[in-house]
Structure 1
């Protein structure tokens, strides 16, 4: 197959979803997963607290078996959380839940994207840690033509399973790309430039995320606090890096 789609010769690249990650990841040195509402925001909150987070692609019986294998607590769906099992994909709930050293966080999109990276470094990025992630990458020499970075906006799913591009992920990805560029990384692919422009030209990121489709879904479902946590712009200084199957803090 032709390699027209890999954004070759660019140090900073941008694409969408698990399929985009599968297609482009083999050609890069580092992959940044951006799933603002809420996988990577939840990862950032948990890792800040000192928890190792194991991504897992399935929300079924195999997740419990995987958690037992890892001696980890298992996060459940937002609405399934209880006082006995308070860990979920809700970053607000994770912030309030008792500390656990190891947590399995099922997420079909985020986990599938992380798994697509192969031998590449995988970083969890979001609006909370965009500047920290961009700087961390640049300081380690990522984002050049020799060591390219692929920033993946996870997006959401329509009922038929097809990708729904999600504005909050575009903004998060663009913020990371903007910081990479400010640190001298590049050149940026045209796709990465478009994501960066979208992010830097949006003046009220928190308001936009709360009013976009994904934000409205959570707000109207009673999870407005998750949107608030996700839009704590650059409040997080921790950079979660996938190490031995788990996201951990890498200074």
Structure 2
């Protein structure tokens, strides 16, 4: 029996989390990882600032050694950060000076990116900030591969017991990118992908307010990080396309020049 979760027959596909990503990776040539609050938003901010970003699995004791070996700064947990230290928070990355390389662990987007890259699939980071840039790059990348497929993975979040929790902001980010791909002629989209694209159209007119009102936005605001939500709502203000090459993300559009 053919694996139904691979969504065979559709060029644009959508799923959730690491397991979904591994399923899609069986047939697609590009995986776009979407983790709006906060990994891929912070990733685009870092790459905007010409910082090379190393994704790393969350809560891995080897992170400090890994960063030291690469002469890179290590992002720490928000609650652990001292003045001026970099965290997963996008404003802390935007404010950083003199940083050229950054190890950026996260429980969802970073972990998924690293794991999928190990499967040999091209991985890009997509947030609401770089939807159009990512869609344009993707179509150029696939221009000579008319049958090639794209998988879009919403990172989601975790409940306190470690189980997966769908995060609507990631659904919106994935849907925005899928809608942009469809507008540029990539199709057909799977039912799952069409549903994600439709979800974004509902909130596109006031995405800033919707991000503040959703559970993930309320959580960050409640913990004192409203700036994270504000940066996440900067729709299409970034022209970068973070591409994971070897161990790190750099701007794919720079690599093409």
- Using the TM superposition, give the Cα deviation of residue 59 of structure 1 relative to its aligned residue in structure 2, in angstroms: 2.2
Q: Distance in 2 between matches of 1:215 and 1:24?
A: 28
- Using the TM superposition, give the Cα deviation of residue 58 of structure 1 relative to its aligned residue in structure 2, in angstroms: 2.8
**Contact 2:105–2:111 (8 Å) recurs in 1:** no
Matches within 5 A, 1:186-197: 186-197=187-198
Across the aligned residues of Structure 1 and Structure 2, the Cα RMSD in angstroms comes to 1.5
Q: Distance in 2 between matches of 1:210 and 1:73?
A: 30
User: Which residue of the partner structure matches residue 167 of structure 1?
Assistant: 168
Matches within 5 A, 1:93-242: 93-114=92-113, 115-117=115-117, 118-141=119-142, 146-202=147-203, 203-242=205-244
Q: Distance in 1 between matches of 2:179 and 2:73?
A: 36
Q: Distance in 2 between matches of 1:103 and 1:216?
A: 27
For residue 244 of structure 1, the aligned residue among 243, 246, 257 is 246
> Which structure 2 residue ranges, 5 or more long, are not aligned?
none
**Contact 2:6–2:26 (8 Å) recurs in 1:** no
TM-score for the superposition, normalised by structure 1 = 0.95
Change (3 A) 1:160 1:18: same
Q: Distance in 2 between matches of 1:94 and 1:64?
A: 18
TM-score for the superposition, normalised by structure 2 = 0.93
- Using the TM superposition, give the Cα deviation of residue 99 of structure 1 relative to its aligned residue in structure 2, in angstroms: 3.0
